[in-house]
Every structure is written in C-alpha cells, then in structure tokens.
Amino acid sequence: MAGDTIQRHKEKAARLLGLDQLEAALAEYEQVVKLAPDDGSSHQRVAELRERLGRRVEAVAAYEEASLAFARTGQLLRAIVACKGLLALEPGHTRTPRSLADLYGWQGPSLRGTASQPQKEFAPLPDGRGPAAGMPVVPLFSQLGREPFAAVVEAMEVRKVPMGQAVVEEGEHGASMFALVEGRVAVVRHLEGGERRKVGELADGSFFGELALISEGPRLASVLTLAPVVLLEFTRERLAQVMKRHPVVGQVVQSFYRERMVENLLRSNPVFTPLQPEQKQAVAREFELREVKTGEVVLEQGQQGDAFYLLLRGRCTPYHVQADGKERAYPPLREGDVFGEISLLLGKPVTATVRAEVPSVVLKLERAAFDRLILSQPGMRGALTRVGTERLQRTAKLLSGRELHDGDMRV
C-alpha cells in the first residue's frame, strides 16, 4: 500500500540523515513528496537538505512547495515557517506570501482607517469575508489583505526553543508576541509567597504575549516549553515599521488584542465561567469601548456601581478613602485587569475609587446588560452572590488585580 511505502521511505531517510548521508536522505524524501504531494513536512525536509547541500535555487522551489502544501492542508503557521526559509534565501520573493494571503487573508472590501484618519483605537473590525472557502480562520492573519498579510509574514522571525526552557519570564519587560507553530508550553505565574503555579497549557496554533504589542509593562506570566517548540515572533518594533506602510495592521492588532482580553476574562473569571459558550459570545458583544482621560474617576467609592470594567490600555489606580479622609492607594490595575463587579454582584456601593493615572481605554459592560445576560440565568444570582461575598472579604487582593485564576493566560 502507498501508505506503507511512504512510511518506509521516511524511516530510511531518517536513518540516513542520522548517519549524515545527506544525498541519500534527500533521495528518500524526494520519493516521499512524489507519492504524497501534500506532505508539507517532507517537502520542508527536501528544502532543508537541498539548502545544506548548497543547491539554493532547488531549495527555494522546495520551500515554496512546502509552504503551499502546508497551506492547502490548513496549517498556515507551518506554511509561514517554510515561507520564511524561502525568504532567507530569496529576500525579494513575493509570490508565496501573496499566495498564502489569497488563501487565508481578508477577502472582503478594504478595512476602514488610513494613516490620516485611523479607526478608533480598539474598535471592533467590521464584519466581512475572511479566508477562502474551506480554509480555517487564523487569528490576526484572516483580517489582513494581501499586501499587509505579506508584510507581517516578512516581519515575523522563526525561533526554536528546546524542551524545558523559558520563552519569556514573568516580570521582564516584553516586546514580542508569539505564535506557537509546533510543541507545547505551560503558562506559569507566581503566587504571593513566591510559589509558582501553572495556570494553563498552550498547544500548536496558539498565540501568546500579545499584551507586549500594546503595553511596555512587565510580563504577567512565564511561558515554559514542555517539548521542543517552533515559534513565530512578532516584535513591537517590527509592528511599528509595518504600520508605517500598512496602518490597517495596527487596527487589526488592536482588535485582536481586544478579543483576546475579553476571551481571557470570560474563560478565567469566576463571574463568567458558569456561562455556556453561546452566552459568553452574547456577553462579549455587549462590551462597549470607552476612553478615559488622565485624572478621570471611573468608579467612586460609596456610589452604586454602574458597570463591570476591563482595562485595555493605560493605568488606573484604586483608592480607599479612610474615615479620616486620607486616601490609601492600592497597586495600579494592569491591562487585562477587571474592576467594578463586586457592586454589581452584591448590590452594594463601590468599595473603592478607581481613577485613571494616564489616558486609558476600558471596555464597559453596563449594569443592564450584566443583569440581563448573567444574573437572569437560573441559579446564577445565588452562585455569584457567594463569589462576590468571598471576593469582598479579599478586597485588597481584588483591587490590586493580583488574584490568580486558572485559565488566566495573559503573558
């Protein structure tokens, strides 16, 4: 059978490669790609071996075949890695990145916004037509047209990290977002006593670290490899360069970041975890964008809370006004932190004033939407009242944004 023949060729090729018999190994892999034209991994092996043997032109052709084979089988990130191998040998090549964009990129009309009239910061992108028929939607890329798509591919760098290594460390200042092409990683955060705890795992196809494209603050978690991994890295510096030519990339990154922060909130926060997926989607659509000026009070201690807030950009600080009138400041809230839910859950006045220290952007879920979509669900009011009571007893933790939840995958 063809499958058995292909496997024999692969096993023989691996043995020959282990013996450093490159020509013989190449011949075996070339047999594989003749029998299995959509085997992207074998095409990539052919490309790598031709490159090692100094056959540049043939290697370029093989990298292109590998990229398109991966793309046809729904593996865009692997297709980009193969494309990066091609671009390293032929920097001016444009055909393959554009072919990937034609399969996976934005197929509808041009997205709104120009350099002179940019779309409002963090505004959701308009509905439209994403990838070509039969192709999966890939975050970030599926909202980019042909030229911006190709520019982002060119700007990304391939990184390979062995098992047991840190990709990023909690507390360091981040400047990159990553796409996990192959392998698995753990997201780890520190507890108050210094103990480290895993809050989740990510597998191939996942993205992490997008916060670093929006904020220059410290990493909120460490990411450790559980197996050898291949990553695509997109830095804040390269993003700025791409945006000069394609402002729409900035809009897409901001929209992607907004969706990721809301997704993280709905997955990890106890207020939302009991909801079904369709209910979470309904809640996500209700969050409204609001810009906050420096010094503006978002919530005021003693007043009835009007909404649930998620901080997207900037810095807001909670203050507790003591009996003698003095303000006690808690640690600032960070991007992705939430506030205001205790008042909504318990029907009590706000426990602390929250003020913007710099121009900030928040997402706001109005009380009416909170009541309609969350508290109206059977059994939710009692369950959330218990959550609110427990969290009220830990106000300092709540206000400092340091409470740790499983599934909080901010990096």
Last residue of a domain, one of 225, 246, 267: 246
Does some domain include residue 241? Answer: yes
CA separation (Å) from 307 to 181, 370, 400?
A: 39, 8, 19
Most confident of the ranges 272-286, 288-302, 367-381: 288-302
- Torsion angles phi and psi, residue 393, rounded to 5: -70, -10
**Overall average pLDDT of the 332-349 stretch:** 84
Last residue of a domain, one of 131, 149, 167: 149
pLDDT the model gives residue 351: 84
Mean pLDDT of the chain: 89
**Whole-angstrom Cα distance, residue 127 to residue 258?**
16
pLDDT in tens, 180-198: 999 999 999 987 667 888 9
Q: Is residue 266, in this structure, part of any structural domain at all?
A: no
**Which residues, including other chains, have CB under 8 Å from residue 32's CB and lie 6 or more apart?**
6, 9, 10, 13, 39, 42
What CATH code is carried by the domain that includes residue 310?
2.60.120.10
Q: Look at strands 157-161 and 207-208 and give their pairing.
A: unpaired
What's residue 40's pLDDT?
97
Ramachandran angles phi, psi of 199, nearest 5°: -105, -5
Quote the pLDDT of residue 11.
94
pLDDT in tens, 221-247: 999 999 999 999 999 999 999 999 999
Specify whether 335 is located in the same domain as 216. Answer: no
Is residue 253 predicted with pLDDT exceeding 90? yes
| Whether residue 304 sits in one domain with residue 360 | yes
Flag whether pLDDT at 302 surpasses 60: yes
pLDDT tens digit sequence for 203-215: 999 999 999 998 8
pLDDT per residue over 8-38, tens digit each? Answer: 999 999 999 999 999 999 999 999 999 999 9
pLDDT of 386 reads 67
Residues near 68 by Cβ (< 8 Å), separated by ≥ 6? 79, 96, 99
> Which of the listed residues 123, 149, 175 is the one where a domain comes to its end?
149
Nearest CA to 264 out of 219, 310, 203 is that of 310
pLDDT at 3 over 90: no
Cα(118)–Cα(297) distance, integer angstroms: 27
Mean pLDDT of all residues in 95-117? 80
pLDDT-based confidence at residue 166 (cuts at 50, 70, 90)? very high
In which domain, by residue range, is 341 found?
A: 277-400
Q: How many of the other CB atoms lie within 10 Å of CB of 213?
A: 21
HSE-up of residue 218 (Cα within 13 Å, Cβ side):
10
Residues 291 and 336 in one domain: yes
Confidence of residue 216 (pLDDT cuts 50, 70, 90): confident
Task: Provide, rounded to the nearest whole percent, the portion of the chain with pLDDT above 70.
Answer: 91
pLDDT of residue 297: 95
Question: Distance between CA atoms of 247 and 117, rounded to whole angstroms?
Answer: 10
- CATH number of residue 13's parent domain: 1.25.40.10
Q: Using CA atoms, how far apart are residues 313 and 144, in angstroms rounded to an integer? A: 23
Residues 167 and 231 grouped into a single domain: yes
pLDDT tens readout for residues 130-159: 898 889 999 999 999 999 999 999 999 999
Same domain, 281 and 387: yes
The pLDDT-based confidence of 389 (bands split at 50, 70, 90) is low
Strand partners, 317: 355
Residue 271 falls inside a structural domain: no
Quick one: 134 and 236 in the same domain?
no
pLDDT tens-digit profile of 51-86?
A: 999 999 999 999 999 999 999 999 999 999 999 999
* Structural domain total, the chain: 3
Domain presence at residue 385: yes
Beta bridge partner(s), residue 239: none
Q: Clarify whether residues 392 and 318 are in a common domain.
A: yes
Q: Rounded to whole angstroms, how far apart are CA atoms 282 and 268? A: 17
Q: Out of 34-48, 238-252, 314-328, 357-371, pick the least confident.
A: 314-328
- Looking at the domain assignment, is residue 216 inside a domain? yes
Comparison of pLDDT for 391 and 44, the residue scoring more: 44
Residues 82 and 179 in one domain: no
Q: Is residue 406 assigned to a domain?
A: no
Residues 113, 11 within the same domain = yes
The most confident of 228-242, 254-268, 320-334, by mean pLDDT? 228-242
Check whether residue 17 and residue 126 sit in a common domain. Answer: yes
Q: What is the largest CA-CA distance in the chain?
A: 85
Q: How far apart are CA 384 and CA 112, in angstroms?
A: 40
Query: Is the per-residue pLDDT at 276 higher than 50?
Result: yes
Give 242-248's long-range contacts (Cβ < 8 A, gap of 24+). 242/148, 242/151, 242/152, 242/155, 245/151, 246/147, 246/148, 246/151, 247/113, 247/114, 247/115, 247/118, 248/110, 248/111, 248/113, 248/144, 248/145, 248/148
Q: How many CB atoms lie within 10 A of CB 409?
A: 23
Q: What is the mean pLDDT of residues 387-401?
A: 53
When mean pLDDT is compared across 235-249, 293-307, 328-342, the lowest value belongs to: 328-342
Pairing of strands 327-329, 360-366: unpaired
Q: Do 98 and 14 share a structural domain?
A: yes
Instruction: Pick 171 or 407 by higher pLDDT.
Output: 171
* Beta-strand pair 288-292/338-339: unpaired
- Top pLDDT among 405 and 162 is at 162
Q: Are residues 64 and 47 in the same domain?
A: yes
Residue 265 lies in a domain: no
Q: Is the pTM of this model over 0.85?
A: yes
